[in-house]
Structure 1
Amino acid sequence: MTMLTEEPVAGAAASGSRARTRLPWHRVLTLLCVLALAAMPVLPTPEFWITLANYIGLYSLVAIGLVLLTGVGGMTSFGQAAFVGLGAYSTAYLTTQCGLSPWLGLLAGLAVTLCCASLIGAITMRMSGHYLPLATIAWSLSLFYLFGNLEFLGKYDGITGIPVLSVFGIPLQSGRAMFYAIWVVVLLAMLLSSNLLNSRPGRAIRALKGGVTMAEAMGIFTGWMKTVVFIMAAMFACISGFLYAHLQRTVNPTPFGLNHGIEYLFMAVVGGVGHVWGAIVGAGVLTILKDVLQGLLPKLLGSTGNFEIIVFGVLMVLLLQYSPDGIWSYLSRWLPSGPRAHAPDPAPALPVREKPASGELLLDVRAVRKQFGGLVAVNDVSFEVRAGEIVGLIGPNGAGKSTTFNLITGVASLTAGEVRYRGERISNEYSREIVKRGICRTFQHVHLLPSMSVLENVAIGAHLRGDFAAQGGVAAAMLRLNREEERKLLFEARVQLERVGLGDRLYDEAGSLALGQQRVLEIARALCADPALLLLDEPAAGLRHLEKQALAALLRKLRGEGMSVLLVEHDMDFVMNLTDRLVVMEFGTRIAEGSPEDVQRNPAVLEAYLGTDAMGEHEGAGGDARGA
């Protein structure tokens, strides 16, 4: 891989052409499914099959929500059955006790679910690790026992006599009639979910699984996005509960307990929790398998009981061991593959921030300190970065360089001191607010989404650019009302990839790139944010000699365009031949600052950092290289 700084390469155009000509298998598969579903009720299909298909559809709705929440967003929930109960009980109560239309019952259920999910999400989505699943179990049990103990909901006997659902005056009295209503909603949920995932807010949701640090550094309000996806999953479950109530014509608390919440998660995981189609596959496989086992196991064992749960547990362990991506990961291998997003032909450019005047003081780090208990990681460090210069922050391992980066970019909070950017104090602001001002960074340990394409990874960097109304437009994304904005974002990502020499890898999975290429990809993602100050944490690590030369040429080109660069790097040849000034740290303290030549001759650096003999040998070689 050789990085380029010229115009878009022919290879990228060819790659884009190949991607656009690939068979849109997902559309073909959807069409075949629609035709099969449409024919099923009108053919002499056994009534039992229709009933089974109805339940598969209801379960699929909940599983689609879990794909968004768990598979894409990375947040595990065992409590979706409780939201199914909210939808079912809302329409059941309002239609039987108040005589209202079922459609008003649906609206009421969605409103109640929105309020509950917003409150629960605001509290629980801040949790991580094992605390989040435990919290979902807690509120699931709370709602379940609430359903069973409220007098006006019939306690554990529930509510009966729920009226028939009517669509355009046509009563849906039978299971065959409800079949179409259920599956139209399922297909609509699939379409809306797919549209969302292939958009700016969808990429933000997918970025959640890669960790909060990277997402926030790209300007994503992770707390808000977590709550949004949690509410969406709850809404899908609520609609499933509404349809269930009018299919069964009676409700009681039993189907809304923790056991069913666990089964919904099983369905998503078995099918493929990272894929919308996996939700349908998982719901179908587990529903059919459960029915078969309930009839077969009592005959084999000679007694009755819920033996199918034992089989499910064993199968789940085996699946997680040998196929953690679910059944869909195997099925999709037989289908033509293609990227989610395509780089468009030239599109209108995104707005570009005004570059600061050459020599303007951009970054002013004043006596910053970071303490972890009694350990001082950064000890009153001060330095400046001006517009149009490349500054290196160097020092041995453990010197506090990356911690200083984190203090500047809001990843860590300062104990003392302050950081100013263009005269404004940015100390202890959130990362998403700092990147808005024009500071973007890469990471010492690469933070990418390996299963996403190179193009989509880079497009995350443009999250804050463009029309502000489109940035948080989840509804607009689901309805594909943001197509023009998407074209701009993806074209910008393509331009930046071609700028750094990855234009021929647009549609490769980011995880398939070599480490050096992944670091260059991170630089392209940072450039997509249109920063005035670029912070690079060990950008040359893992690059070969020619790649380092190409990276240095790119950084010099950026400097010539008015961009400032602050970089941490251990490769002394790379740093000495590139930077305008160096700041040297040791044990969290700044021990030297100046031009590369001055730093090379600084006694403190010679003694504490490189060693006198090694530094003396390097000085001659570095001086010759710099002069060349």
Structure 2
Amino acid sequence: MKRSHLAAAAAVLLLALPFAPVPDFWITQLNYIGLFSLVVLGLVLLTGVGGLTSFGQAAFAGVGAYATAYLTTVLGLSPWLGLVAGLGITLVLALVIGALTLRMSGHYLPLATICWCLALYYLVGNLDALGKYDGLLGLPAVTLGDFSFQSERRIYLLIWLAALLAALGVTRLLDSRPGRIMRALNTNRGGGSTMPEAMGASTFRYKLVMFVVAALLASVSGWLYAHMQRSVNPSPFGIKFGIEYLFMAVLGGIGTVGGAFAGAALVKLAEDQLQAWLPVIFGGSGNYEIIVFGVVLVLVLRFAPDGLWPLIARWLPARGRRAVDENAPRLSARSHPEGGAALLDVRRIRKQFGGLVAVNDISFAIRAGDIVGLIGPNGAGKSTTFNLVSGVLPLTAGEVKLLGQRVDGRGSRDIARAGLSRTFQHVKLVPDMTVLENVALGCYLRTRSGTAAAMLGLDRAEEMQARAEALRQLRRIGLAGQAHELAGNLALGPQRLVEIARALASDPSLLLLDEPAAGLRHKEKEALAEVLKQLKAEGLSLLLVEHDMDFVMKLTDRIVVMEFGRHLMEGTPAEVQASPAVRAAYLGADE
């Protein structure tokens, strides 16, 4: 049985459970597990995928709960209007809080979410309109026409329908254009902002999207909780529950959708049992379960840092590979300049770090069809020049023109839109994504589907096009046979080729290669050289930074030589090899 079929069978079984003769206690427990899973699914996306730690998800659940409680008990409006209002208020709050906090790094973001959770807890606890710490009572049951969800067995259907739809939406999102960018952001898994920005994506925008989606899922959970309990008070929305939700995510498997349900179920069931047995063992009342959970968390982080779900998943059928239709319609392509046309014009660019001048008035030009090498001894400023041209670093002075348009002063994602793509000195792949998915990242600017379309499954045709394009680029560099392997399992040589395929997937007019042969063995260098010769034959323009002189001399049309951040000379490979100045720069001999 395929894993997708097993998941569908489990979903049907869960939704059919309240109609079976099972104890009411089971239904109550499953209701809480479903509510917790909704919140934890948001943390899977925000923390597990995006690497953004939040302790404030309980507060967003409180917004959903209090919004519907106030509208239904004080204003007498429908619970469905309460849901809409809760989601609207949550959306505004998440956008404001996210805009203020997501630019923070390190421990500042978790601290900010703790402050937000505490602030909401004490705010609702001191407002007369919200009943202070006693809360609001007498919420009406949710109805749909003449059907009431008043009983626990009936609201169970709403809770688990919401949880399963959320799981399906998050799963679809992670396997999509925006999802690939989100998965590339997690610095704990080797990601960061530099590579996604170079692919043309706004990393801050996607961090904000993840924050908002996680907040909305928590808000739905709060709405369901309020109408299940028929009352609200601040207690379930304080920092204690914010920490518990994060604990559920870590325990279950913070980077996996299945881990959200496993963690919620394990914590809820264990908590009930521990609350019954620990007071008997210790001979008195108290929150002893917190001590146990603390010990368990330390053990999980030590021996199963990816959580329990990967251990469970070993016993499930292997995930099937999605077919790639190479006959899918091709993605849109940009128009490229004719051979010999002006492509890149770098004029007297300068980069100064305080009193250090790393790049000092460098100028060179590239025409369409050229392969230009940028060489120099260690510390010559080659990689800094590379980063200035691609927009990773801002210029101190000078100008850069790409296809006749000035691009200096613009970020790397804007320069990527203008037609420049690049690889990196230190390989930047997402190790837990397949080779095909990593290359599909390069199709970002050639596709349009957003987060909502991905979660609703409306992007499948475009996804098929992107995957087909990724496979074509892998076939172009000779790695189609490894398309479905995890990128982190490849050796360094194939990883560098995957980076080139990802850059080619964006259909660039100019490709920048930053030390592509660094760290490669002789055979790997030969394979890379063959790929670059093929690209050269196809008319692709390249700017190449490299230390291996033999590698550079055999590939390039012209070479720019740098020394101590200055322009030393420019010429053909033969002219550079014959230059006494170049020999002096590399060997330290007198000119």
Please indicate, yes or no, whether the TM-score normalized by the shorter chain is above 0.5: yes
**Aligned with 1:48 (options 25, 34, 52):** 25
Indicate the residue corresponding to 1:128 in structure 2. 105
Deviation at 1:123, TM superposition (A): 1.2
In 1, distance between residues paired with 2:482 and 2:514? 23
Q: Are 2:197 and 1:216 equivalent residues in the alignment? A: yes
**Aligned with 2:325 (options 332, 340, 344):** 344
Indicate the residue corresponding to 2:96 in structure 1. 119
Indicate the residue corresponding to 1:38 in structure 2. 15
Give deviations 1:297-352, integer Å, cap 9, x for gaps.
11100111111111111111111111111001111122233366542232111122
In 2, distance between residues paired with 1:133 and 1:445? 29
In 2, distance between residues paired with 1:284 and 1:119? 32
Alpha carbon RMSD of aligned pairs, Å? 1.5
- The residue identity in structure 1 corresponding to 2:406 is R
- The residue identity in structure 1 corresponding to 2:255 is G
**Aligned with 1:235 (options 216, 234, 241):** 216
Deviation at 1:168, TM superposition (A): 3.3
Q: Are 2:39 and 1:58 equivalent residues in the alignment? A: no
Gaps of 5+ in 2: none
CA contact (8 A) 1:113 1:234 kept: yes
CA contact (8 A) 2:583 2:589 kept: yes
**Aligned with 2:180 (options 191, 203, 214):** 203
In 1, distance between residues paired with 2:320 and 2:331? 23
Q: Are 2:562 and 1:581 equivalent residues in the alignment? A: no
**Aligned with 2:296 (options 298, 310, 315):** 315
Q: Are 2:547 and 1:531 equivalent residues in the alignment? A: no
Indicate the residue corresponding to 1:247 in structure 2. 228
CA contact (8 A) 2:332 2:446 kept: yes
Superposed, which structure 2 residues align to 1:353-502 within 5 Å? 353-466=334-447, 470-471=448-449, 473-502=450-479
In 2, distance between residues paired with 1:341 and 1:168? 41
In 1, distance between residues paired with 2:548 and 2:482? 27
Superposed, which structure 2 residues align to 1:92-241 within 5 Å? 92-209=69-186, 210-241=191-222
- The residue identity in structure 2 corresponding to 1:372 is F
CA contact (8 A) 1:149 1:156 kept: yes
Given the superposition, is the C-alpha separation of residues 404 and 339 from structure 1 closer, same or farther in structure 2, using an over 3 Å criterion? farther
In 1, distance between residues paired with 2:548 and 2:587? 12
CA contact (8 A) 1:212 1:222 kept: yes
TM-score of the superposition, structure 1-length normalised? Answer: 0.91
Superposed, which structure 2 residues align to 1:581-620 within 5 Å? 581-611=558-588
Indicate the residue corresponding to 2:266 in structure 1. 285
- The residue identity in structure 2 corresponding to 1:519 is R
CA contact (8 A) 1:342 1:490 kept: no
- The residue identity in structure 2 corresponding to 1:374 is G
State how many pairs are aligned: 587
Indicate the residue corresponding to 1:553 in structure 2. 530
Deviation at 1:212, TM superposition (A): 0.4
In 2, distance between residues paired with 1:408 and 1:127? 27
Deviation at 1:24, TM superposition (A): 3.1
In 2, distance between residues paired with 1:587 and 1:135? 44
Indicate the residue corresponding to 2:2 in structure 1. 24
In 2, distance between residues paired with 1:424 and 1:397? 32
| Larger RCO of the pair (alpha carbons < 8 Å, separation 6+) | 1
CA contact (8 A) 2:2 2:320 kept: no
In 2, distance between residues paired with 1:216 and 1:273? 25
In 2, distance between residues paired with 1:400 and 1:169? 73
CA contact (8 A) 2:139 2:226 kept: yes
In 2, distance between residues paired with 1:529 and 1:93? 50
- The residue identity in structure 2 corresponding to 1:299 is V
In 1, distance between residues paired with 2:169 and 2:19? 27
TM-score of the superposition, structure 2-length normalised? Answer: 0.97
Indicate the residue corresponding to 2:240 in structure 1. 259
In 1, distance between residues paired with 2:171 and 2:51? 17
Given the superposition, is the C-alpha separation of residues 194 and 263 from structure 1 closer, same or farther in structure 2, using an over 3 Å criterion? same
In 2, distance between residues paired with 1:395 and 1:135? 46
**Aligned with 1:273 (options 242, 254, 257):** 254
CA contact (8 A) 2:511 2:542 kept: yes
SS of the residue corresponding to residue 516 of structure 2 reads coil
Deviation at 1:611, TM superposition (A): 4.8
Segment drifting more, 498-507 vs 587-596:
587-596
Indicate the residue corresponding to 2:276 in structure 1. 295
Indicate the residue corresponding to 1:324 in structure 2. 305
SS of the residue corresponding to residue 344 of structure 2 reads strand
In 1, distance between residues paired with 2:437 and 2:121? 41
Q: Are 2:54 and 1:67 equivalent residues in the alignment? A: no
Deviation at 1:44, TM superposition (A): 2.9
- The residue identity in structure 2 corresponding to 1:97 is V
Deviation at 1:546, TM superposition (A): 3.5
In 2, distance between residues paired with 1:29 and 1:256? 34
Give deviations 1:551-590, integer Å, cap 9, x for gaps.
2232233223222100111111100111111111122222
- The residue identity in structure 2 corresponding to 1:400 is G
Indicate the residue corresponding to 1:623 in structure 2. none
In 2, distance between residues paired with 1:498 and 1:464? 21
CA contact (8 A) 1:82 1:144 kept: yes
- The residue identity in structure 2 corresponding to 1:24 is K
Deviation at 1:135, TM superposition (A): 1.2
CA contact (8 A) 1:516 1:541 kept: no
Segment drifting more, 278-287 vs 129-138:
129-138
Deviation at 1:492, TM superposition (A): 0.3
Given the superposition, is the C-alpha separation of residues 284 and 179 from structure 1 closer, same or farther in structure 2, using an over 3 Å criterion? same
In 2, distance between residues paired with 1:158 and 1:146? 12
SS of the residue corresponding to residue 446 of structure 2 reads coil
Given the superposition, is the C-alpha separation of residues 219 and 277 from structure 1 closer, same or farther in structure 2, using an over 3 Å criterion? same
Indicate the residue corresponding to 1:621 in structure 2. none
Indicate the residue corresponding to 2:54 in structure 1. 77
Indicate the residue corresponding to 1:520 in structure 2. 497
Give deviations 1:411-451, integer Å, cap 9, x for gaps.
11111111111221101211111011110000000101000
In 2, distance between residues paired with 1:38 and 1:551? 54
CA contact (8 A) 2:326 2:471 kept: no
- The residue identity in structure 2 corresponding to 1:220 is A
In 1, distance between residues paired with 2:577 and 2:465? 46
In 2, distance between residues paired with 1:36 and 1:352? 47
CA contact (8 A) 1:552 1:574 kept: yes
SS of the residue corresponding to residue 284 of structure 1 reads helix
Deviation at 1:66, TM superposition (A): 0.7
Give deviations 1:425-483, integer Å, cap 9, x for gaps.
101211111011110000000101000000000000010104xxx33x22111111111
- The residue identity in structure 2 corresponding to 1:107 is V
In 2, distance between residues paired with 1:404 and 1:342? 41
CA contact (8 A) 1:156 1:253 kept: yes
In 1, distance between residues paired with 2:359 and 2:112? 37
